[in-house]
Amino acid sequence: MKKVLVLALCAIMMVGVVSAHAESLYPRLCIVIEVYNGIVICQDKGGNLWAFYNEDDEWEVGDICNLLMDDNSDDITEHEIVEVFWEGYTENIDLFFVLNGWC
């Protein structure tokens, strides 16, 4: 009986940790503006620049990506990229900025 109770308490604690972490995650849409030496640099609507490592050399300028971010604090410079998702491509970055109200 003690083992069952201990396992149940452990499961409850794990769910609490996972849900607390999930509350700090949010998506951030960006467009790739530069790829250099395996580093992808992208820009969000606010003009913030974010960078991540390009493992497979698949990213190109003009790719649209969605960054899963962790808001470690209120200071945006402390936010971390958790995961990156490819969302599409645009040939005209300036037009993308205008159409999406990023100007």
> What is the tens place of the pLDDT at every residue in 13-67?
444 444 445 688 999 999 999 999 899 999 998 899 999 998 887 899 999 999 9
Tell which wins on pLDDT, 98 or 32: 32
C-alpha distances out from residue 103 to 29, 83, 92, Å:
15, 26, 14
Q: Minimum mean pLDDT among 26-30, 77-81, 87-91, 96-100: which range? A: 96-100
Neighbours of 74 (CB within 10 A): 7
> For residue 2, is pLDDT > 80?
no
Query: What domains sit in the chain, N to C, each tagged with a CATH number?
Result: 25-99 (2.40.50)
C-alpha distances out from residue 53 to 6, 39, 41, 83, 90, Å:
41, 5, 9, 11, 21
